[in-house]
Each structure stands twice: as C-alpha cells, then as structure tokens.
Structure 1
Amino acid sequence: MHPPQWPAGPFVAEGPLAAARRAELVAEIVAAPAAFRTATAGLSAEQLDTKYRNWTVRQIVHHVADSHVNCYVRFKLALTEDVPTIKPYDETRWAALPDSRGDVAAPLALLEAVHARWALLLDTMTDADFARTFFHPESNSTVRLDEALAQYAWHGRHHAAQVRWVRERNGW
C-alpha cells in the first residue's frame, strides 16, 4: 500500500480566524511535541530510518523541528516589522543534511522548547497581532499570522500522522 499524500487530510485555509478557533489551534501547537514523542516512542534506529514516501521517519522529525523554528521566527519578524519578507529554504536539502540523520532526541527537545516559547507568544497576541503579515517570496503571497497558525497546526498533525501511518502499516 502506497502512503497517502495527506494522512491528516489536506490543508484547508480558513480565512481570518475568530479568537475561539485560534485558541483551538494554539492548543494543537502546544500538544504537537507530545504527539511526536508518542508517535516515535520505542522506535529502533532501523524503524526510524523507514521511509514514508520520500523521507524517513527520522527526517520527518528533524523537518518538523526545522520548520517550526522557522515559523516561530517568522511570527517574531511579523510582530516587530511591517510585512517582512521571510527567507524561504529548501526543505528537501535541509532534510538531506547530516544533522537530519542524527538521534531524534534533539529535534524532539527543540520542538518542545520552540512550541513552549511560541505558545507563550501566541497567548499574548491580540486580534490586531494575528492580522499582521509577512511576505513569502516563494509563493508571492502575503500571509496573515492567523493563517500561518492554522497552517502550522495542520503541519504538525500532517507529519505526526505520517509517522503513525508508518507504525500502523508495519505493525509497530
């Protein structure tokens, strides 16, 4: 069986978000590190090196940490500058770097730390803060912070679902 493209469903943009919906998404950001710890708990080195489509489980864990660090920085830039242009990066090339073949303890700890800081920031943001934007040159689009929140909450769900799919598919 071929792994599904979107094991948690595709991302669906919701437009400007009400405070109650943002609170749900912040709760997902808070819960994401524990979801990854659970999804990877007890996996051997060989199991961590099992592929889901193009990346191994290990690379997925490293990717999520890398990606969410970048998003946290994008939030801080958007909150302190007027429509900053963010720096895109080549996720595939990052996932191929030697540090993405290392132990998953470090990216899991990094994910926990970044999400703890990010949650503190998110909890203090106002409606006006969530309406602030950054410019993404790769997609040539201006992104609202509430939209980025929704996308990264989904991103965590998406990649955790990939790891769970590998576990279930292999009976781990």
Structure 2
Amino acid sequence: MDESLSFPIGRMKLPAGSLTPAERTALIQQMADLPAQLAAAARAVGGEGLQRPYRPGGWTGRQVIHHLADSHINSYCRYRLALTEDNPTIKPYEEHLWAELPDVAATPITVSLTLLEALHTRWVTLLHHLSEAQWQRTFYHPGMQREFTLDQALAMYAWHGQHHLGHVKLLLP
C-alpha cells in the first residue's frame, strides 16, 4: 500500500523533551485553525466525494470527519483528567468500531464540524492558559503502555488533525 495515502503528512514524531514556547504556540495555532480548514476541505470535496474512502480499505471522508470529533473529545477529556488528577490512566476506545456506529452514517457532517469548532475553541483557550509545570503533567495510556506529557499530547493531536485533514484532501476532485 502507498504510505502517502495512509500518512499524507508523514508519520507522527513525538517530541522527546519539553516543547519550547514557540513550538507550543505553533501547534496550538494548528489546533485553532483545524475546524475551519476541515470545513473548507469538506465543502471542496462535496457530499458525494465524502462518501468515498480516501484509500482502498480506508474510511470514507464522512467517517474521518466524525472520527476527528470523537477523537478530539476524548483527547480534551484526557487533558482535563491530567490537569486534575495525578497521572490518570485514560480509557482507550475502539475507534474503528466507533466509525461503524449508526450515527456516523445518519448524522450530517456539519454536526461534527460544528462540534469540532466549539470543542477546539474551548480546548485552545485551555491550552493558552497552561503553566510550564502543567505542560509536564502526564496521563497513562494503557493501550500504548506508556505515559504522555501534555506537551507530547499537543504534538500528537496537532499532527492528528493535520493527518486526517490530509485524508479529506485526498478526496478532492
């Protein structure tokens, strides 16, 4: 399989140490920009185009958009847990099964796009107000059997948004 179809922006690389303030600012801006970028890409692809998978065996554009809302809700909650508990163990979920639930086919993508816009507004506000010490707080991911700092989670989810935006853009005519 063509790696560029699975990873249109390349594979994620987690930072080994703390991010600099400038790196954080750039990643937070990516988070802030994602909802509008995704909505524009979805409009450009069009309704019929979003029914197609972005690669053989991949999700449809519709599934990708709903997945971003699901995934980023989970990540936002993980941030809040890490900020209020000592290294909480988060709950993984079966994202491929979530993508098959009936609401994914029955709900207009505009609902998830609106949800992402509101969620990212709230999340970005939180991110702008974290102290240096808060960026180093952690959560444990039992599925990956490792802990993540909030710095690393920021890098991961900024990448995640751009990664799936890339999938939607693969559907452009």
> Would you call these one fold, judging by a TM-score over 0.5?
yes
Gaps of 5+ in 1: none
Indicate the residue corresponding to 2:152 in structure 1.
147
- Report deviation, 1:4: 1.6
Select the residue among 63, 66, 88 that pairs with 1:59: 63
- Report deviation, 1:20: 1.1
RMSD: 1.3
Percent sequence identity over matched residues? 44
Alignment of 1:18-57 (within 5 A): 18-53=20-55, 54-57=58-61
Alignment of 1:5-154 (within 5 A): 5-15=6-16, 16-53=18-55, 54-101=58-105, 102-154=107-159
Query: What CA distance in whole angstroms lies between the structure 2 residues aligned with 1:96 and 1:146?
Result: 31
What do residues 119-139 of structure 1 show as CA deviations (whole Å, max 9, x unaligned)?
110010011000000000001
Task: Tell me the number of residue pairs that the alignment of Structure 1 and Structure 2 aligns.
Answer: 168
Task: Give the SS at the match of 1:115.
Answer: helix
Gaps of 5+ in 2: none
- Report deviation, 1:108: 0.2
Moved more, 131-140 or 9-18: 9-18
Q: Is the 8 A contact 2:50 2:171 kept in 1?
A: no
Which residue identity lines up with residue 166 of structure 1 in the other structure?
Answer: L
What do residues 75-122 of structure 1 show as CA deviations (whole Å, max 9, x unaligned)?
000000000010100000000001111210000000001100001100
- Report deviation, 1:42: 4.8
Q: Is the 8 A contact 2:141 2:148 kept in 1?
A: yes
